[in-house]
Structure 1
Amino acid sequence: MSRFWSPIVHSLIPYVAGEQPTTGGITKLNTNESPYGPSPLALEAISKAASDTLRLYPDPTARELRMAIAESFGLDKDEVFVGNGSDEVLAHTFQALLNHEEPLLFPDITYSFYLTYCRLYGITFRQVPVEAEMRVRLDDYRQPCGAIILPNPNAPTGIGLPLADIESLLKAHPDQVVVIDEAYVDFGGESAVSLVRSYPNLLVIQTLSKSRGLAGLRVGFAVGQRPLIEALERVKDSFNSYPLDRLAQAGAVAAWKDRDWFERHRAMIIASRERLAAALAELGFHVLPSSANFLFARHPSRPGAELAAELRSRNILVRRFSAERIDDFLRISIGTDEECDRLVAALGEILH
C-alpha cells in the first residue's frame, strides 16, 4: 500500500490471469488459448503491415475490420465496435451501458473479471447462484435489475444456453441492456448475433483470441444496434482513440476472412474436447458438458488443489479456482491430442 494511492485502488481486488511460464517443456492447458497457430494468411498480413507505415497512427475506427465482421453477420459496420481484446470491450461496456441505479445481474460462478469491473467502476451488482449442476437458471433473472450480463457458454463451466432462452430473457427485460459474452461460442454454442436486429437492448461480445488463435494480438468486438455501439465509441474516444494498432487490424482482418482455417481448426478442437472428456470420465472424473474449448471437471476422491499441484510437478499446467463451490474443479484447456494424452497419462499415474 502507498499513501499516494487513490481510494479506489485500496478497494480493488484485481483479476488474476492464468500463469504464463517463461521456460520451455511445459504442457500449457491453463489459459484457453488455441493449441494451433493462427491462419497463415493472418501471419502474412501482419508481416506486410510491419513496414514504414508504422510511423503513422492506425485507423482509429478500424473500418476494414468492422466491415469484414459486419458483412459476415449481415449487419452494418456501424453496428460493430472493436477493441483491444474482448476484456477492453467489456470494460467499456460496463462503463457505458451497465452502470444503473438497479443492480447488474450475473452468475455467481462466472468470469471473475465481471466482479472486478463492478468494483472498478462502482457498479451495484447482484450475483445470481447457478444450480447444483452449475447451470444458469434464467427464471432467476426475472427480477428487477439495471442490466444483465451472461457468458454463453459460461466460464469456467463451459455450459451453454440455447438461443431460445436468450431470446426469452431479452423479451422479459425490454428496458434493460442484456450483454451476451460469447468468447467461446464458436466451439458449440448458439450465437445471439442473429437476434441483434430484433432487440435494441442486446449487445453481443466476441473475441479472436480463442477460435482464431490470436490471443497474442488482442482483438475483440461487440455487435449491437447503433445506439449501444455509439455509447461504446463515446467511452473509447474518451479513453484511447487508437486501441488497435496497424498489425492487429491487418492480422485480424485476414484471420476473420480465412473461413477455411477457422472451420478446420474449430472442428479439430471440438473433436479433441470430446475425446478428452471421455478419457477423463474413464478416470472417474465428473465432467460438465462443455460447448467451449475447455473442460471443467472434478474427481470425487481427490482435492482439486492436490491434483493441480501434482500436475504442475509434472510440468502440466491446468487452471484451478479457489472460489467456494468450485475449488475442487480443474479447468482444462483443450490442447493438441498429444498434449491431452500427456495429461491423461499423468492423471492416471496420480490417481492410481
Structure 2
Amino acid sequence: MSKFWSDFVQELKPYVPGEQPKDGEYIKLNTNESPFDPSPLAIDAIRQESEENLRLYPDPESDKLREMVGRYYEIPADYVFPGNGSDEVLAHLFYSLFKHQGKKILFPDITYSFYRVYAKLYDINFEAVPLNDQFEIDINDYIRVSADEVCGIIFPNPNAPTGIAVSLEAIEQLLQAQPNIVVAIDEAYVDFGAESAVCLLEKYDNLIVLQTLSKSRSLAGLRVGFALAQPHLLQALVRVKNSFNSYPIDRLAQVGAIAAFEDDAYFEQTRQEIISSREYVSQELSNLGFVVLPSKTNFVFVSHPRVDAAILSAQLRERLVLVRYFDQDRISQYLRITIGTRKQCEILIKTLSEILTSTNIDAE
C-alpha cells in the first residue's frame, strides 16, 4: 500500500490465477490449459509472420480474424469483436453494457471469479445468485427478475469451476423471458460437450456470447478471445476499446488464431481426446470413492467424502501434481482437476490411490 494509490485501489481484491510453477517438474492440472500443442498450421503461420511483418502495427480491427470467425460460425463478420483473451473482452463488456445507474447485474455465487472482480473494479452493483443443491444454474432464478432492477445477466456455459452445462433450450427460455436485459453467455469451455448459443444470435438482440482460443485450441499463450453479438451491442465494446487501446491483438495472435480455425481436423482430434480422457478420469475417480460432478469441460470438479480437499491438494503437490483448490464457501471440499494427456491422467489416478491408501481410506 502506498500514499500515492488512488482511493479505490485499496478496496480491490484482484483475481488470483492458478499457480504457474517456474520449473518443469510438475504435472500441471490446475489451470485448464490444453495438454496438446497448438495446430501445426498455427505454429507455421506465427513463425512466418514473425519473420516478415513484426515491424508493422497489427490491423486495429482484426478484419481477417473477424471474417474467419464469421465464416466458421456462419454469422456476419460485424457480429465478431476480438480481444486479448476473453478476460479483456469481458472487461470491455462489463464497462460498456453492465454499468447502469440504479441497476445491478446477476451471476452465480459459484462461478468464474473475475465477474466479481470486474464488478467491483467498475463499481457495478451485482447479486450473486446461489446455485442449487446439485451445483446447477437454475434458469428460473434469472427468468423471474425485473428489468427495472437488472441490466445484465452473465454466466459461463458450462459453468466454472463446476463444469455443469445449461441446455440451449433453457438459455432460449431466458432470452425470451428477458428481452430488455443483456444476457452474456461465457462459452470458454463449450467445445468440450455443451451446446453453443451462437445459433441464437440473429434471433435475440440482447444476447452476447464469449469464447476463447485458450482452451480447446491450445493457444493460451497467445491470449485471443472474442465476443459474438449483433453489431449494436458490439459497438459499445468498440467504443470502450478504442478509448483504451485501439491495437488490441498483435500480428502473431491474429495469424495464429486464423490458422487454428482453419485446421478443423486437428481441433476435432484433440478435443475428442480430451473428452475421452475426461470420461476415463471421471470413472476412475468414482471408483476411488470421489463424488464427481457431471462435466462438459476440460476439467472435473470432485470431492471425497472422507478426505479434506485442502489436504488432498497439498499431498498431490508434494508428489508433483498440481490441481486447483478453492478455499471458499460451499466448495471448500472440492478440487478442480484439469484433464491432461492420458499418461498424466493415469499418473493422477495412481497418485490419488496411493494418497488414499496412505491415509487409510479404502477406495469404494
Report the TM range for the smaller structure's normalisation: over 0.9
Q: What's the counterpart of residue 6 of structure 1?
A: 6
**Which position in structure 1 is the counterpart of 2:317?**
312
In structure 2, the partner of 1:56 is 56
Counterpart position of 1:205 = 210
Equivalent of 1:166 in 167, 171, 189:
171
Matching residue of 1:103: 104
With structure 2 as the length reference, what TM-score do the two structures score?
Answer: 0.96
The equivalent of 2:18 in structure 1 is 18
Instruction: Specify which of 270, 274, 278 is matched with residue 273 of structure 1.
Output: 278
Shift of 1:256: 1.1
Cα distance in 2 between the residues matched to 1:189 and 1:327: 26
Mapped to 2, the partners of 1:137 and 1:251 lie a distance apart of 38
Q: Summarize the alignment of residues 1-352 of structure 1 with structure 2, pairs less than 5 Å apart.
A: 1-100=1-100, 101-141=102-142, 142-144=144-146, 145-352=150-357
Write the deviation string for residues 142-191 of structure 1: whole angstroms up to 9, x where unpaired.
21211100110000000000000000001111001000000000000000
AA aligned opposite 2:320: N
Supply the distance in 2 between the matched residues of 1:131 and 1:275 (Cα, whole angstroms): 27
1:97-134 CA-partner distances (Å, limit 9, x unpaired)? 11122210000000000000000000000000001110
Q: Write the distance in 2 (CA, Å) between the matches of 1:235 and 1:257.
A: 30
- Cα distance between partner residues in 1 of 2:77 and 2:103: 32
Distance (Å, rounded) in 2 between the aligned partners of 1:246 and 1:58:
5
How many angstroms apart in 1 are the aligned matches of 2:52 and 2:4?
41
Q: Deviations over 1:51-108 (max 9, x none)?
A: 2421111000000000000011111111100000000000000001111222100000
SS at match of 2:54: helix
Q: Residues 308 and 333 of structure 2 are in contact (CA less than 8 Å); yes or no, is this contact kept in structure 1?
A: yes
CA RMSD of aligned residues (A): 0.6
Cα distance in 2 for partners of 1:94, 1:333 equals: 28
Q: Secondary structure at the match of 2:228?
A: strand
C-alpha contact (below 8 Å) 2:222/2:253 kept by paired residues: yes
Aligned residues, how many?
A: 352
**Does the residue aligned with 2:322 lie in a helix, a strand or coil?**
strand
2:164–2:296 contact (8 Å) kept in structure 1: yes
Local SS of the residue matching 2:232: helix
Identity rate of aligned residues, in percent? 56
Specify every segment of 5 or more residues in structure 2 that has no aligned partner in the other structure, as ranges: 358-364
Amino acid at match of 2:46: I
SS at match of 2:336: strand
Q: Distance between the aligned counterparts of 1:52 and 1:67, measured in 2? A: 22
- Which residue identity does 2:199 align to in structure 1? S
1:278 alignment partner AA: Q
Alpha-carbon separation, structure 1, partners of 2:222 and 2:61? 17
2:362 maps to none
Distance 1:57 1:271 in 2: 41
- Return the letter of the residue paired with 1:67: E
Q: Distance in 2 between matches of 1:157 and 1:324?
A: 14
Query: Which secondary structure state, in structure 1, belongs to the residue aligned with residue 202 of structure 2?
Result: helix
* Structure 1 alignment gaps of length 5 or more: none
Q: Name the CA distance, whole Å, in 2 between partners of 1:110 and 1:53.
A: 40
Instruction: Tell me how far apart the structure 1 counterparts of residues 15 and 195 of structure 2 sit (CA, whole Å).
Output: 27
Distance 2:246 2:263 in 1: 28
TM-score calculated relative to the size of structure 1: 0.99
The Cα offsets for residues 217-236 of structure 1, whole Å up to 9 and x where unpaired, read as 00000110010111111111
Please tell me the residue identity of whatever aligns with 1:222: A
